[in-house]
Structure formats: C-alpha cells, structure tokens
Structure 1
Amino acid sequence: MQALTLEELRSRYGARYKWLVLLTCMIGSVAAILSSTIVNVAIPDLSRYFALGQERAQWVSTGFMLAMTLSMLMTPWLLLRFGLRRTYGGAIVLLLLGGVVGGFSINYQMLLAMRVLEGLAAGVMQPIPAIVILRAFEQHEQGKAMGIFGFGVVLAPAIGPSVGGFLVELFGWRSIFFVVVPPCLLVLFLIQRFLASYTPTLEHAKPLDWKGLLLIGVSIISLLNGVVELRGDMSQAVILLVLGVTTLIAFIIYQMRTKAEPLMNMKLFRYRQFAMGALVAFIYGMGLYGSTYLLPIYMQMAMNYAPSQAGLVLLPAGIVLAVTIPLAGRLADSYPPNVLVAIGLFLLASSFALMANGSPATSYWLLMAWAVIGRIGLGFVLPALSLGAMRGVDNSLIAQGASAINFVRQLGGAIGVSMVGVVLEWRITLHQSRQALGIDNHRNAFNETFLLVAVLCAVAVITAWYMREKPWQKDKQNNMTGL
C-alpha cells in the first residue's frame, strides 16, 4: 500500500484521524510494555535454567530498561530525521525480532542481547504517544486522550503477568517471548494504513548528538554496575559510582554549552514545573519498576505461590487500573495535575507499606487488595504527571520534554530494579547470618525491601506539590497542528 500524505489522510478520515494515529501508537506501546513486564514472572525459571544468581538474573530486566532509557533520548532526532511512520515502524520491527529470536535463545548471553534489542525498540516508542497527544489535541482534550491511551496501555501489565505465569507453567519460559508477535504484526498493518509518508528536508537532518549519547551511556552503565557491585567489590563499586556521577555532570555541562542540537535540552529545566516533574518521575520510576520486578519474585520465593498465581495476583488490580485511568484523565482536565499526582503517589506508597507487613497469615485475597490500592494510585499518576510537567513549556520544546520525562522515569526505574536486587540480597544475607535461612527469613527480607520502596514513593509525594501551575500558565495553549 502506497503511503498517503498527512493532508490526504486528514481529508479521508476527518476529525477522527488523530484518534486513529493514537490507536496505532497505543497498540505498539502495549506490545512494548508487554515485553517489559511479562518476563518478571519468569525470573525464577530463567535463574534455574541458566544457573543464574540474583545479581545476574536481574539484568534480564535491568538490561531491557537500560537500553530503553538510552534509546528514548534518540526519539526526537529520529522523528525529525525519518518521520513518525519510519521511526515507529522500525522500532516495531526491532521489537518483533527481539521477541522471536529471544524465544530461541541457546544461552544467557543471547537472551540478554535480545532483551537489550527489545529495550532499544521500546525506548524509541515510549515518548511517541505523549508527543502525538501534546501536538495533535487541544489542551481541553489532552487529559481525555491521555486517559484513553493509558486505558489501553495498562492492559499489558494487567494481563501480561497473568498470561505469562500460565505460559511458563504450561510451555516454559521461551513461550513468553512470542507473546509480542501478534500485536507487532497488527501494528505494522496499521502503520501502513494510517501513518503519513514523510520526506525529510535538509533543515530537519540535524546530526545526532553522539558525544552526549556516549557520555550519558557511560554514566548510566557505570551507575548501574556500581550499584550492583555494592554487594561485591566495594572499591570497584566506588570507582564505578564516581565515574558515573562525573560523566553525568560532564553530560549536563556539555548539553548546556554545545552549539549543536542537544540530546536533552537543558532549557527545559528552567521551567519549575518541568524540573519538579522530572524529579517526581525519577523517584516514581524507582519505586514503580523496583516493585514491579520485586512482586512476582516475592510471590514465588517468599509466599510459595506458583508462577500462574504470582501473575494472577495483579489481574484484578490491572482491571481497576484500566477503569481508574480514564476517570483520572478527565480529572486532569479540571483539577491541578500536581494534586492528582500527590494523591496517586500516596496510595502507591500505602500499598507498598502494606506489602511490607506481609506475614504467614496474610491471605492471597488480601495481597490482591493491597495491589489494587497501588494500582488506583498509579491510575491517578499516569495521566497527570506528563501533563503537569509539560504545561507551560514552549511548543518548540515539547518533543524534547516528552522524551526527557520518559527518560528520567526509566532511568529511575533501571536504578530502582538494581537497587531492589542489591537490597534484597543484602537483607537475605543478613538474616541468613543470624539463623538458618528459612521461608520466614525470605519473607522478612522482602518486607524490608518493600518498605524501602514505600519510603521512595512517600518522598515523591512531597516533591509533587512543587509542580503547581502558575496562574499565567493556565491560559497558555500547548498544542501544535502537525503529527
């Protein structure tokens, strides 16, 4: 099928065209999130199959998030250089390839490489829906659009672990990699039908900031490995952490002084709402992704549930989340986003605090209820965080801003997963040194780790209040006409 121009597609589909584009982006995001979350329930099986310790097993999740964090910084450049159609289509092909080849992995190195490939694809796709919403929808429709988008996206983490648990039990861990194949094929069809052709011009073809990408890449890899080494060689951990912080500072200075198109425009952080929103996104990412990694392992190792039961515990919470997000999206059009974000983070922190009090007497249904509380909180945060941080930002910085918010959230998530793995191993070892390691000691170690995640989310509640919108910003429109 020959690609049509934007004008031809708008003429054919009218006012509903922007919703068709959003639907296309939403299904691709579902596939990407599915590939991210469905693997967590299989971590115990992967550990046994490849004879991995906890410090290596967590890289199945961390490697994905690391690649995702780095590649999402390239999205604005890719969109300018290749357009939405080619950028999004290329990312879907990479995600499809990673899923198929990953399912046939013959060793841990091959598996990890395919997880990194999937992460690269997911990172490119991550900021695109927010860019589409902020550019194509009027401000009074943005909350509704973000809510509808969120409704679709939460189906992946809601259904993914449940389906993944049953697949692991019935067909083994390889089957979970093939789950992304149907949605990827569907999205490739929708791309051909609904996304416009795009011919880059010389003024768009700005060079990619490779120096900035190298600096931030070295920084993130050093920080993550430094966190992991805290339970091993302390001197090496200090060297890696110092290198990570140093290259991070160098990246910030370089981005401020470079005359080329920056990878991350530091002018964004002159807007107080954006700066506070980015900090909230970072802490929120640490808590959310750290707990998402922790919960399926907790259910299997500490509570002795089967993989299917470990995945099923999140299903009611996911359904509640799917209902909450559209409602929260409508509220985001009428109420200050910082208030909604603070309420959501408080509920999320409460959920983790309740998990931290788990005991042998805690029933499966009570664990479900605690997860529901957290997902209600998540439903309040998701539509409001991006909108709250981006309102007031100049139109020319929207693409960079959407990418940056997702970047800091994923960076927080990658660090959070590593930190959770390190803290969990530390607490298990501590309990083991006190007495013979048993199920109660496992549970105590997990409970203490959940408490840490709860504290992180509580800190983010305080930060969210500083995302308040200034009076003069309330009337400013942040929409653009292009897609």
Structure 2
Amino acid sequence: MKQMLFLGSFPASYFVRHPKWKWFILSTVLVGATMSALDVSIVNVAMPTLENGFQVDLATIEWVAMAYMLTLTIFLPLFGRLADMMGRTKLYNMGFVIFVIGSALCGMASTAGFLIGARIVQAIGAGLLQANSVAIITEAFPENELGRAIGLQGATQAVAMAIGPFLGGILITTIGWRSIFYINVPIGVVGTIAALYILPKSTVHKKEKIDYWGTLSFSTGLAFLILGFNQAGRAGWTSVTIISYFSIAVVLLTAFLIVERKVACPMIDLSLFRQWTFSSGNLMGLFSYYILFAVLFFMPFYFERILKLSPAMAGLYLTAVPVAMAAMAPISGYVADKYGAKIMTTSGMIACACSTLLLSSIDHLANSYILWGALITLGIGMGLFTPPNNSCIMCSVPKNRLGVAGGILNMMRSLGLIFGVALSGLLLMLAQQHYMTNHPLEPGITSLSLYDSAFLYGFRLVMLTLVAISLVTVGLSVSKNRQ
C-alpha cells in the first residue's frame, strides 16, 4: 500500500475506492478552512506589535489586514469562475501552495511594505481555497447529507477563529510575531499533500473564454466600494475622496452589469440571481455577517470603556460566540438534512434578534448573566442559520456553476463584515454627536461620563438596527421556496 500511496496516480486509488472517501475529502477541505480562518483572527492581535516593530503609524499597519481582506473579497467570484472553467481541485491545490508561499514571505518580511505585499499573495491563496471549498464539498456529498458536511466545515472555521487570538498571543509572547505566519507553512504542506492524494480529479464541464472586461470592471468597482466604506470613518463620508470612491464604484459596477448581459461567457452568470433561493440566501448571508461582525466589533469597546474590563476578559466574553457557533453548526446541518432548512435558518435569525435585543438593553451596570446569555444566543443563532443557508445556496445552482456560486457566497460574507463595521460605525458616530449636542456639560457631570452616556446611546441604537435586520432576514427565510 505504501508504494500505491506514494507512487500511484492522483488521487490515490486507496481513497477513491474507500467507502468513506467523501469524509476524507471533507477532512482535507477542513485543513484549508482551518488555515484561512485561523489567519484572519490570529493576525489582529499582532497589530500593535507590528506597529512598534516596523516603526510605522497605525494607518500604515492597518493595511496588513486591509490588503488581505480587499484582495480576498474582490477576487472570490473570479476564482470561483476560473474553477468552473479549469477544475476545482486544480485551483484548490494551487491555493494551498500560494498560501504557504505567502505565509513564508510574511514571516520573512523586513519592512511593513513587504509584509503588506506578502499578505496580498497570502490572500490570493486563501481566495482560491475559500472559493472552491464549499463547491468541492457540494460535489462530494449527496443533498441529504450536505447540511451536516457544511455544518462541520462551519464548526471548524468557528473554532479556528476562536482560538486565533489566544494562540496568536502565546506565539507572539513566546516566539515572536513572525511565528503567527510561519505556523501556516506546516499546515499548508500537510494540506497540499492531502489534497493531491485525496481530492477528486478536476472536472471541466465546458471550454469557455475568460470574461476580461467583466472581471476588470467588477474587481475594480468592488475595490473602490470597499475602500470607500473602509476609509470613510477616517476621511469623512462627505469628503471628496470618499465621494470619488463611491462614484467610481457606481460607474464600474454599472458597466459590469452591462457587460455581463452582452458577453457569451460572463464572469458571473446573472441568471443565477433569478433563482430566489440563491439570491435570497446570499442576501441573508450578508445580513447575518453584518449582524455578527457589528456585535464583535463594538462589544470590546463596551467591555473596556464602559465596564472597565481588561482586554483578556473582553476576549473571554467574545469567545462565547464562535464556541456556541461551533457547537451548534453540525447539529443544525444534520437537522436541516432531515427536516428541511427553513426551520433552522428562521430559528437562527430569531435567536440573533433576541440576542441583539438583549444587548440593546444593557448599560454601565450590566448583569454578567445577560451578557453571557446574549453572546451565547448570538453564537447559537449563527450556528443554526449558516450551514443550512449555505447548503440551500449551493444546491440551487447547476454543477457547472458551483465554483462561482461558492465564490459569491464567500464574497457576500466578506461584504457583510465590511458593511456591518462601517455602517454601524457611522450610525454610532452620528448618534453620539446627536446626544452630546443635546446634552451639554452640566455641574457634576464630567466630559468622560458624558462620552460614556453618548456611547451607550449610540450602542443601543446600533443594536436595535441589528434587531430590525434580523427580523428582515427572518422574513426572507420564511419566504424561501426551498425547504
């Protein structure tokens, strides 16, 4: 068997003939899911260290995270489309190799600029992995087991995101910041070898041309849109720069829609969005991550500024969300396979509405049981919602469009993160300004306590908007035709 495994053709016949081959495929995909999810959260804790180590300002070092997220988001649909044309396994394996190279380059970085460039390489590899992972799972599993498989993938990603900051803190403290990138190298090497021997051969359904104009207009337009949202908090929403970014984005994305209607082989087949399950599922996915990351972004400010907790204690509270997600996701996928997705996606969003409603009621004397309950409920809600929703999206498209569907699914998740932070941040800022304008300083009230009151006012308003978004998502879930 040793000769067969190491000298035989790819994939190895041992795995192809094995009755549990699909589970070997899932395990291999989980390696990539772990690596890409771990890298998102593990890097955030290193930002202050990188800022001091490279002797650059915060605006520069923020691009270590921004370059990764921007590159990943704008290229996901393209990588999915290329996978449909060239073969998913081929591009998935390429993703492992590029991610390992990018991680090694990040670890060797001697300047902030080099590190940012290496993060772009790393993001290209992560994009190839993310765009194809759900598509590979969808092809490997029958529809009545797909929810469980995607649930396990979601649980793995949640655990990786949960342990990322903790693991990153230990590595930075004991070894140094370069270790948080080098840790990806052995994981990626194992994943590459496993992918070669386990994943099925790439299947090309039809020879098609690359839509260069569609790719250029979409990627560039989406990049300007993301930059507009990301930079608006610093530059101001009414600044010439931000208005220019949004204007260019509107022009380019409009041009993209025109191009896609005319070309024979579009980058994104717009007819996919005529399928209500696909379009509503992606919109719901965007809303769900909008809610999740708005909460994850603002809760540390509440814990540290209002409750005066340490960063470690704030992190412990927030860990409840991914842990609850990880516990619930496989269960949700299994139940959805048996009884239908609608009941799980609807229940999940109702749980998110209850969680954000609880958070809208907290103040500077919040009960710890309420905080734990709200955050655990949010994690349960996301765990209930995400696997069956992703399963419905992927099952609603033909097999020769699974790659681009997976790319769009992951892109919508990234956009939910970006919009959730940017728009909620704008709402919080406006609410704070309104409160402080109408509540001037009075005798016995310090400027610090006034600011805290203004923050709580804005925080509650943000949470109430998240309740409303959750209820809108409940309505979309109920309206889905697919059970």
In the superposition, the TM-score normalised over structure 2's length comes to 0.83
Query: What residue is the counterpart of 2:208 in the other structure?
Result: 206
| Aligned counterpart, 1:477 | none
**Which segment is superposed worse, 329-338 or 419-428?**
419-428
> Using a 3 Å threshold, how does the CA distance of structure 1 residues 467 and 251 change in structure 2: closer, same or farther?
farther
Partners of 1:173 and 1:206 lie apart in 2 by 44
- Alignment partner of 1:346 out of 341, 346, 350: 350
Counterpart residue number, 1:130: 134
The Cα offsets for residues 209-232 of structure 1, whole Å up to 9 and x where unpaired, read as 222221122212222232323643
Kindly indicate whether residue 417 of structure 2 is the aligned counterpart of residue 413 of structure 1.
yes
Amino acid at match of 1:67: T
**2:259 is aligned with what amino acid?**
Y
Do the aligned residues in 2 keep the contact of 1:104 with 1:174 (CA within 8 Å)? Answer: yes
Matched residues in 1 for 2:335 and 2:166: separation? 30
2:289 to 262, 278, 285: 285
Per the alignment, residue 120 of structure 1 pairs with 124
The CA distance in 2 between the partners of 1:297 and 1:87, in whole Å, is 40
Q: Does residue 382 of structure 1 match 2:382?
A: no
Work out whether residues 165 and 310 of structure 1, in 8 Å CA contact, stay in contact via their aligned partners in 2.
no
Task: State the shift of 1:156 in Å.
Answer: 0.6
| 2:472 corresponds to 1:462 | yes
CA–CA separation in structure 1 for the residues paired with 2:111 and 2:448: 31
CA distance in 2, matches of 1:31, 1:454: 34
Using the TM superposition, give the Cα deviation of residue 256 of structure 1 relative to its aligned residue in structure 2, in angstroms: 2.1
> What amino acid sits opposite 1:441 in the alignment?
Y
Q: Note the 1:331-342 alignment, pairs <5 A.
A: 331-342=335-346
Deviation at 1:42, TM superposition (A): 3.9
Contact 1:91 1:124 in 2 (8 A): yes
Which of 234, 251, 259 does residue 256 from structure 2 map onto?
A: 251
Amino acid at match of 2:212: W
User: Partner residue of 2:115?
Assistant: 111
- Partners of 1:19 and 1:405 in 2: CA distance: 23
Show CA shifts across 1:45-100 (max 9, x none): 555665545x6665444432221112211233432455344312221222223333
User: Radius of gyration: which is bigger?
Assistant: 2
When residues 322 and 401 of structure 1 are mapped into structure 2, their CA distance, relative to the original with a 3 A threshold, is same
Match of 2:144 among 109, 119, 140: 140
What per-residue deviation string (whole Å, max 9, x for no partner) do you get for residues 179-237 of structure 1?
43342232123123313455x87x75533322222112221222223232364362332
1:132-211 alignment runs, 5 A limit: 132-168=136-172, 173-198=177-202, 204-211=206-213
1:225 aligns with 2:227: yes
Task: Say if 1:353 and 1:451, in contact at 8 Å, map to a contact too.
Answer: no
In structure 2, the residue matched to 1:238 is 243
Change (3 A) 1:58 1:242: same
Size of the alignment, in residue pairs? 468
SS of 1:441's partner is helix
TM-superposed CA distance for 1:269, in Å, is 0.8
Matched, 1:27 2:37: no
The CA distance in 1 between the partners of 2:220 and 2:413, in whole Å, is: 18
Deviation string 1:335-366 (CA, Å, 9 cap, x unpaired) is 44233223222323443444455544346665
Code of the aligned partner of 2:9: L
For 1:440 and 1:181, how far apart are their aligned partners in 2? 49
Q: Give, in angstroms, the shift of residue 322 of structure 1.
A: 2.0
Distance 2:327 2:34 in 1: 16
Q: Distance in 1 between matches of 2:457 and 2:84?
A: 46
Counterpart of 2:240, as a letter, is S
Deviation at 1:430, TM superposition (A): 7.5
Letter matched to residue 382 of structure 1: T
RMSD value over aligned CA atoms? 3.5
Identity over the aligned pairs, expressed in percent?
A: 24
Residues 37 and 160 in structure 1, CA contact (< 8 A), matched pair in contact too: yes
Gaps in structure 2 of 5+ consecutive residues: 1-5
Q: Secondary structure at the match of 2:266?
A: coil
* Alignment CA distance shift 1:352-1:161 (3 Å): farther
Which residue number in structure 2 is paired with residue 372 of structure 1? 376
One-letter identity of the residue aligned with 1:266? L
Tell me if structure 2 keeps the 8 A contact 1:70–1:123.
no
**1:4 maps onto 2:9 in alignment:** yes
2-structure distance, mates of 1:453, 1:214: 37
Compute the displacement of 1:145 (Å).
1.6
Matches within 5 A, 1:397-408: 397-408=401-412
| Rounded Cα–Cα distance in structure 2 between residues aligned with 1:166 and 1:449 | 32
Letter in 1 for 2:223: I
Q: Which runs of 5+ in 1 are unaligned?
A: 475-483
Amino acid at match of 1:283: F
Partner of 1:445: 455
Distance 2:186 2:427 in 1: 37
Q: How does 1:59-98 map to 2 (within 5 A)?
A: 59-80=63-84, 82-98=86-102
Q: 1:194 to 1:282 in 2, by over 3 A?
A: same
Aligned residues of 1:345 and 1:458 also touching (Cα < 8 A): no
